[in-house]
Amino acid sequence: MLRVAVKMLMGDRAKYAGLVFGIAFTSFLVTFAASYFTGFMTRGFALISENPTVDVWVMDPAVRSVEKTTNMAASALDRVRSIEGVRSAVPMALGTAEVRFANGQFQSFQVIGVDDATLAGVPPPKDGVVPAALRTPDSVIADPGGTSGKLQTPLRPADQWPGGGPRLDVPTRSLTVGDELLVNDHHVTVVGKSEALPRFPPRPLLYTTYSNASRILLPERRRMTFVLVSAAPGVAASDLAALIEARTGLRARTSDDFKADTVSWFLENSEDVGDIAAMLTLAMSVGFGVTGIMLYMFTTENLRQYAVFKAMGASSRMLLAMIFVQVALSALLGTGLGLGLCAIASQFAVEAEYPFRMMWFTPLVSSVMVVIVSVVAAAISARPVLTLDPAIVFTGR
């Protein structure tokens, strides 16, 4: 009987194609939305991922993410260093600065100040530049930070630092070693470009030493944003974080916990989460609409066949099994097609530097959504079959 159910489904090619399309569209949209979510979440805590050797992040008690921060007193660094189990502790400063290019164009940058001695927190520079170049006075390493076309300086020397006003429409080129920038009226020199992880929201980045960041950023009573702690051998990061919190009153989180905090913060505050919810709602609506309608139409048009089966002694359980086999086959093919299309789309998304990351659990999320859509559609379509009177075979209706 189940083989007959499959033949019935494939015999009506139009509705069979409609079922597969509806489920494929659901699978594609759900997987794309989940991959987009994981993409901008991983970019959201890119600063943490860039520092894999850091075991514990220490911050102001009110900080809940790397996206929204406030600074601490400089004395916090010595307090953290004095705690047993701390192998090393270095400062990091985050700030936003208006940066002017040589033609007068300006752009907002995130400035990241790293420890002068260790340079911990500087991503690998490009083109053979070594991080030690940052120890040169007034030097910075630039990075697009997930943006495109934001690191452009005038191509012709005559258009650089012009008198009589900016020259915004002149030909430009990408920043290179030796170019100068004006950060809050402080001249700095680009000593390299880095391979930092893209950010979300995208923004250009300037890496420099902590002392240089303190000089070029706007004056503040407190400059240190984080203390980056490495645990001594044999000391668990979670235990060290708890000890730091108890001794200092500051907030201390392991890298994994701080990533989870940042994800929670984005879920509560980012408008993109609403966009993803809207995409999921659209996917489910299309899935319920197309799949449910197509399966219901297919079932009602074949009521006479189901009535024949029932008159021949088929139980309601067998008829239900036939319907669920039909929708299961469509769901299997539609899910595979949707995942395949999403995998193809991911190649274009990555090349366009879109925040897209198809992780292992995104197909599982898609499969769960497809199962929900399929079960609901099958349940709706099964009702006329279960209430079917076999006598319609003999009435000619």
Per-domain residue ranges of the chain:
2-43+270-395, 46-269
Three-class DSSP labels, the chain: CHHHHHHHHHHCHHHHHHHHHHHHHHHHHHHHHHHHHHHHHHHHCHHHHCCCCCCEEEECCCCCCCCCCCCECCHHHHHHHCCCCEEEEEEEEEEEEEEECCCCCEEEEEEEEECCCCCCCCCCECCCCCHHHHHCCCEEEEECCCCCCCCEEECCHHHCCCCCCCCCCCCEEECCCCCEEEECCEEEEEEEEECCCCCCCCCCEEEEEHHHHHHHCCCCCCCECEEEEEECCCCCHHHHHHHHHHHHCCEEEEHHHHHHHHHHHHHHHCHHHHHHHHHHHHHHHHHHHHHHHHHHHHHHHCHHHHHHHHHCCCCHHHHHHHHHHHHHHHHHHHHHHHHHHHHHHHHHHHHCCCCCCCCCCHHHHHHHHHHHHHHHHHHHHHHHHHCCCCCHHHHCC
Q: How far is CA 6 from CA 19, 199, 321, in A?
A: 13, 49, 11
Q: Which pLDDT does position 352 carry in this prediction? A: 76
Q: What is d(CA 34, CA 361) in angstroms, rounded to the nearest whole number?
A: 9
Contacts (Cβ under 8 Å, ≥6 apart) of 380:
292, 295, 296
Contacts (Cβ under 8 Å, ≥6 apart) of 288:
373, 376, 377
Q: What is d(CA 314, CA 126) in angstroms, rounded to the nearest whole number?
A: 71
Q: Which pLDDT does position 397 carry in this prediction? A: 52
Q: Can you give the pLDDT of all 397 residues of the chain as single tens digits? A: 677 777 777 777 787 888 888 888 888 888 888 888 888 889 999 999 999 999 999 999 999 999 999 999 999 999 999 999 999 999 999 999 999 999 999 999 999 999 999 999 999 998 888 999 999 889 999 999 999 889 999 999 888 887 777 888 899 999 999 999 999 989 999 999 999 999 988 999 999 999 999 999 999 999 999 999 999 999 999 999 999 999 999 999 999 999 999 999 998 888 777 777 787 787 778 777 777 788 888 888 877 777 777 778 778 788 888 888 888 888 899 899 999 999 998 888 888 778 888 888 888 888 888 888 888 888 888 878 777 776 665 565 5
Q: What is d(CA 263, CA 252) in angstroms, rounded to the nearest whole number?
A: 17
Q: What is d(CA 228, CA 118) in angstroms, rounded to the nearest whole number?
A: 12
Can you give the length of the chain in residues?
397
Q: Which pLDDT does position 319 carry in this prediction? A: 81
Q: At what angle do helices 362-386 and 303-311 cross, to 10 degrees?
A: 70
Amino acid identity of residue 311, one-letter, is: A
Decide if 86 contacts 231 (C-beta within 8 A): yes
Furthest CA-CA distance within the chain:
97
| Matching residue, tokens 């706007």 | 218
The reported pTM is: 0.82
